[in-house]
Amino acid sequence: MLRICILRMLLYRCMVIMIPTSCLALSTPDLAIASRDIPSIGSLDYRCTETLLSMGIVPSAVIDPDTPYSTLEGAAQAINLGTIIQPNLELLDQVSPELVLTSPEFTYMVPRLSGIAKVKSLAPYSSESGASSWQRMISFTRRVGEAIGSTDLAEDMIKETESHFQSLRSRIAGDHMPALLIVRLMDHKHARVFGSNSLFQGSLEQLGLSNAWQGPESHFGITMVSIDSLVDINARLVILESPYSTNPSREQFAANGMWQHLPIIKRGDVIFLPAAFNHFGALPSALGFAESLVNALAADEVGEQISSSCVANDSLASQQECDDGNEGRLHSAW
């Protein structure tokens, strides 16, 4: 009976550390991870959580596990501590992790958290002098690895992510892509624009693409702008869906007459990307954005070729192909 109990305990420990293959954006880690001396972790930061999950580690407890982001699918296996606005610290105390990961934005929690476990505060949006968006995300990944005592897992994740980016870049290599203006619609007159300090800047650089926004931005790489400030920007518009909206941006966009006057829109140069990644995430979200973007660009390129063919060939036999191709282009990001 004692042997059975021990076996059950060992099996449970393996289960809480390993993630199913379907939950990983990167390849599944070796089973040897289960035997590593990795501390039990309480994660109060979604950037830390998605980084751990991509390393093949499921924290004991996390905040906000029920999100639409594919990078956090494995978080459902962890204990739910509630929201970042009001995490359940009493429950965290009961879980009794060996390490708590949080971010500098919640320094006020550190005295309370220190009574529960060792606390490490990490964030990819650091003030490293001269560091690019990509360099900061790489550095953040390494610091997470150091915090859990597994720098090799962090390096493996970085190498595999870089390999994924190389593959994605090869799919659009040789194409003369215009600069991209990345926005999230906030209301019928304003949008949030993502600049050089944002998560997406690093992804664009790795893909060999450029960011059209050259204006001011915050520490997080964003700024709120009115429609008027976008009129003279010559770029392809990339609209990010909001994970919190029940009304898709595509529908809001189509119903708003003001947006339709933008030269970008008149040219039909717009792409919609789904809310499958965190707009303020870490390396896994950067990869998720890149995958969605390249898929949309590739589909859009096919649609343009079909449209060009339709212009050159107006036969009735090809009409259905033209209609099908243009319909596919319309929904290329979905």
The DSSP secondary structure of 184-229, one letter per residue, reads EE-SSSEEEEE-TTSHHHHHHHHHT--B---S---TTSEEEEEGGG
- Beginning with the edge strand found earlier in the chain, give each strand of the sheet holding 180-185 in spatial order: 222-226, 190-194, 180-185, 236-240, 270-273
List the structure tokens of 61: 């407890």
Q: Architecture of 175-330 per CATH? A: 3-Layer(aba) Sandwich (3.40)
Q: What is the pTM of this model?
A: 0.80
Q: Where are the domains of the chain?
A: 14-169, 175-330
- In this predicted structure, what is the pLDDT of residue 149? 96
Report in angstroms the alpha-carbon separations of 11 from 8, 30, 74, 109.
Answer: 5, 16, 18, 34
The fold of the 14-169 domain, in CATH, is Rossmann fold (3.40.50)
- In this predicted structure, what is the pLDDT of residue 125? 77
Tell the residue number behind the tokens 């919190």, with chain if given.
Answer: 244
**Is 175-330 in the same CATH topology as 14-169?**
yes
Report in angstroms the alpha-carbon separations of 54 from 20, 59, 78, 168, 257.
Answer: 11, 12, 15, 18, 42
Taking every pair of C-alpha atoms in the chain, what is the biggest distance, in angstroms? 78
- H helix count then E strand count, the chain: 11, 10
Per-residue pLDDT of the chain (334 residues; tens, 9 = 90+): 434 433 333 333 333 333 333 334 454 444 344 436 799 999 999 999 999 999 999 999 999 998 878 888 888 899 999 998 899 999 999 999 999 999 998 889 999 999 999 999 998 876 666 789 999 999 999 999 999 999 999 999 999 999 999 999 999 976 678 899 999 988 888 899 999 999 999 999 999 999 999 998 988 899 999 988 888 888 999 999 887 666 666 666 555 667 777 888 888 889 999 888 999 999 999 999 999 999 999 887 654 544 444 544 554 444 455 445 444 444 443 3
Q: What is the C-alpha separation between 298 and 176, in angstroms, rounded?
A: 13
- In this predicted structure, what is the pLDDT of residue 304? 53
- In this predicted structure, what is the pLDDT of residue 299? 85
- In this predicted structure, what is the pLDDT of residue 47? 95
Strand, helix or coil at 149?
coil
